[in-house]
């Protein structure tokens, strides 16, 4: 049996986050390419003839050229076992990204060199900062016209309140992009726009005082600029401190071009040395050590119908401690039952392979017959583990949804319930009305399009959708509240979720204030505590 400590120490589990179109999925593909997990990197653009990115497995993702749902990919590289969590960049799917970050030990933030920090990057970074997740920055698309690297780093520091340390430094940009200078190794990695293969680029050792050699490589003007830049960084920049990196206070910065496969391998090698093996997790106010031999994990994502050949639901689990073994009985804390996870799977987007064991830091998929919820804990019996729950975002957009074909009630109910259990949408109904339409709440409006598409393609149900004016939702805290007797504005709606919790939908903050002022003792919550 493999050595538990050694196996866990070689695990690296990280999320890749960015604003849409910064190159996140392209970077993921190139990392997989180096790991030998794929033979050819795919395109994330929606062209009918293009080979699509491995991590964009949903048909709608291929059509739209965006990532809609997070993907999990595991591969081996130079003795490390790497678990990559590729997340959606679009803000309408930020809830999925948030849950995925709960399963990561560090994050790689991809930034477009021409655009800098964008709104979604800002939001995702705050989540990382809240959880003290170490952030590694990859500034992408240096082969195009870009902003000043100083300006980009200053923006990172000012926006996020952290230090930056450039591990390498760009030599020019756009048409003048000649490569990067590695500050630690004191060598140049020369850029060739035709290099897109798996072969390693050979670095050129070159001291900054070797003027003639540098002039031959990058020209006198860029050589002088590079010398001045490095002198300034060495004298006035942050000092490199690995402990600060691991505390999330200092972000190592790498420059490159994911599309051209430039700077990816040096980034991967340095990143793997700087980032950490699996970290301890909080459970019942105790600390669960990843090296504890007892297995524990939590569910951070549920996905139905990932593979057309299976048509099943997969619960994604992040293993927090010990070794998982196939066909052993484990305890489902929230269900209060012992269960056997008979077909654990290693994942490569929607591709699956049955495994016999996995270790702390790994992400595994298990068949879910409908018993798991996001945030559930699974562990060895008697361990008394219960990891912190994953909060639900409050929806910001609402629509009434009903099936077009009245004969397809079962398919409609099954589809909308399963999709809701994944956490992408929330569903409500009006009590005591007998109305069959379902009220759907989402964080971003694109989720409506995804819901409509998935109901049609996966469950064979066409729907009609009617927008509703509500913008805010609050859970009613007092269970004994007589809702029909409340004094509410005429445009406030009482609904229940499918666990029977009472909620109020409001069109404005003013209506919430009215409800609280006019109903003594009424208590409202912004987040669901279930």
Indicate if the pLDDT at residue 291 is higher than 90: yes
Average pLDDT over residues 107-116: 90
Which tokens belong to 147?
A: 């902003």
212 against 241, higher pLDDT: 241
Q: What is the pTM of this model?
A: 0.76
Quickly state the pLDDT bin for 139 (edges 50, 70, 90): very high
Query: What does the pLDDT read at residue 365?
Result: 86
Is there a contact between 122 and 159 (Cβ–Cβ < 8 Å)? yes
- Express each pLDDT in 16-31 by its tens digit: 887 777 777 788 888 8
User: CA triplet 231, 234, 240: central angle to 5 degrees?
Assistant: 160
Query: What does the pLDDT read at residue 414?
Result: 85
User: CA triplet 450, 498, 428: central angle to 5 degrees?
Assistant: 55
Query: What does the pLDDT read at residue 154?
Result: 93
Indicate if the pLDDT at residue 290 is higher than 90: yes
Which tokens belong to 41?
A: 């990197």
Quickly state the pLDDT bin for 337 (edges 50, 70, 90): very high
Query: What does the pLDDT read at residue 481?
Result: 85
Query: What does the pLDDT read at residue 55?
Result: 43
Average pLDDT over residues 165-181: 88
Rounding to the nearest 10 degrees, give the CA dihedral for residues 130, 470, 96, 388. Answer: 50
Q: Which residue has the tokens 């912004």?
A: 526
- Express each pLDDT in 56-77 by its tens digit: 434 544 444 333 344 678 888 8
Distance of CA 490 to the CA centre of its chain: 40
Q: Mind listing the domains of the chain with CATH numbers?
A: 4-175+239-274 (3.40.50.300), 281-379 (2.40.30.10), 397-525 (3.30.70.3280)
Indicate if the pLDDT at residue 295 is higher than 60: yes
- Express each pLDDT in 301-327 by its tens digit: 887 665 555 566 788 899 999 999 988
d(CA 85, CA 527): 26
Is there a contact between 430 and 473 (Cβ–Cβ < 8 Å)? no
Indicate if the pLDDT at residue 496 is higher than 80: yes
Average pLDDT over residues 236-249: 91
Query: What does the pLDDT read at residue 253?
Result: 95
Is there a contact between 507 and 488 (Cβ–Cβ < 8 Å)? no
Which tokens belong to 98?
A: 């948030």
Which tokens belong to 138?
A: 């990859």
Query: What does the pLDDT read at residue 36?
Result: 65
**DSSP structure class, residue 34:** H
User: What are φ and ψ of residue 329, in 5° steps?
Assistant: -85, 130
DSSP per residue over 345-394, as a string?
A: EEEETTEEEE-SEEETT-EEEEE-SS---TT-EEE-TT----BPP-PPPP
d(CA 26, CA 24): 5
* Least confident piece of the model among 31-45, 129-143, 260-274, 383-397: 31-45
Which element (helix H / strand E) includes 325? strand 323-325
**DSSP structure class, residue 177:** -
163 against 62, higher pLDDT: 163
Query: What does the pLDDT read at residue 263?
Result: 86
What region, left, alpha or beta, does residue 285 occupy, with left being phi > 0 and alpha being psi -120 to 50 degrees?
left
3-state secondary structure at position 411: helix
d(CA 7, CA 289): 14
H-only helix segments in 161-287: 211-218, 220-236, 242-246, 264-274
> What value does the CA radius of gyration of the chain take, rounded to a whole number of Å?
25
d(CA 336, CA 357): 24
Which tokens belong to 248?
A: 């999330």
Query: What does the pLDDT read at residue 311?
Result: 60
Query: What does the pLDDT read at residue 375?
Result: 86
Indicate if the pLDDT at residue 42 is higher than 50: no
Query: What does the pLDDT read at residue 47?
Result: 39
Burial of 10 (0-12, 13-18, 19+ CB in 10 A): middle
Average pLDDT over residues 150-163: 90
Please name which of 411, 392, 405 lies closest in space to residue 499, comparing C-alpha atoms.
392
Is there a contact between 73 and 348 (Cβ–Cβ < 8 Å)? yes
- Express each pLDDT in 266-275 by its tens digit: 899 999 999 9
d(CA 503, CA 485): 14
Which tokens belong to 31?
A: 């990392």
Indicate if the pLDDT at residue 205 is higher than 70: no
Portion of the chain with pLDDT greater than 70, in percent: 83
């Amino acid at each position: 049996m493999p050595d538990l400590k050694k196996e866990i120490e070689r695990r690296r589990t990280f999320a890749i986050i960015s604003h849409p179109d910064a190159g996140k999925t392209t970077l993921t593909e190139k990392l997989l390419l180096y790991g030998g997990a794929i033979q050819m990197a795919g395109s994330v653009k929606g062209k009918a003839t293009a080979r699509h990115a491995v991590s964009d497995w949903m048909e709608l993702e291929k059509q739209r050229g965006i990532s809609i749902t997070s993907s999990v990919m595991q591969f081996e590289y130079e003795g490390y076992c790497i678990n990559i969590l590729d997340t959606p960049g679009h803000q309408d799917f930020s809830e999925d990204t948030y849950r995925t970050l709960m399963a990561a030990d560090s994050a790689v933030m991809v930034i477009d060199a021409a655009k800098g920090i964008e709104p979604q990057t800002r939001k995702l970074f705050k989540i990382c900062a809240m959880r003290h997740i170490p952030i590694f920055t990859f500034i992408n698309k240096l082969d195009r016209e870009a902003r000043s690297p100083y300006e980009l780093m200053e923006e990172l520091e000012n926006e996020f309140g952290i230090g930056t340390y450039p591990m390498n430094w760009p030599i020019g940009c756009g048409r003048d992009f000649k490569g990067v200078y590695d500050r630690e190794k004191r060598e140049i990695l020369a850029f060739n726009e035709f290099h897109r293969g798996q072969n390693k680029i050979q670095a050129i050792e070159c001291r900054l005082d070797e003027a003639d050699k540098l002039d031959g490589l990058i020209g006198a003007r860029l050589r002088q600029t590079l010398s001045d830049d490095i002198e300034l960084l060495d004298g006035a920049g942050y000092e490199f401190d690995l402990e600060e990196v691991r505390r999330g206070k200092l972000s190592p910065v790498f420059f490159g071009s994911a599309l051209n496969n430039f700077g990816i391998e040096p980034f991967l090698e340095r990143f793997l040395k700087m980032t950490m093996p699996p970290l301890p997790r909080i459970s019942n106010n105790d600390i669960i050590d990843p090296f504890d031999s007892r297995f524990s994990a939590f569910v951070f994502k549920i996905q139905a119908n990932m593979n057309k050949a299976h048509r099943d639901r997969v619960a994604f689990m992040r293993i927090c401690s010990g070794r998982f073994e196939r066909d052993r009985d484990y305890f489902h804390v929230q269900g209060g039952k012992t269960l056997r996870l008979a077909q654990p799977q290693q994942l490569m987007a929607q591709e699956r392979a049955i495994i016999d064991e996995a270790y702390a830091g790994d992400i595994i998929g298990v068949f879910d017959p409908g018993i798991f919820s996001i945030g559930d804990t699974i562990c060895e019996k008697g361990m008394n583990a219960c990891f912190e729950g994953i909060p639900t975002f409050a929806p910001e957009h609402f629509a009434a949804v009903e099936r077009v074909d009245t004969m397809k009630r079962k398919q409609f109910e099954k589809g909308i319930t399963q999709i809701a259990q994944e956490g992408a949408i929330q569903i409500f109904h009006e009590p005591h009305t007998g109305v069959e339409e379902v009220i759907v709440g989402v964080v971003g409006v694109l989720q409506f399009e995804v819901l409509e598409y998935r109901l049609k393609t996966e469950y064979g149900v066409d729907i009609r959708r009617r927008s509703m004016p509500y913008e805010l939702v609050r859970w009613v805290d007092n269970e004994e509240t007589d809702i029909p007797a409340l004094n509410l504005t005429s445009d406030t709606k009482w609904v229940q979720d499918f666990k029977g919790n009472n909620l109020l939908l409001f069109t404005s903050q003013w209506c919430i204030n009215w409800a609280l002022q006019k109903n003594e003792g009424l208590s409202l919550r912004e987040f669901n505590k279930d």
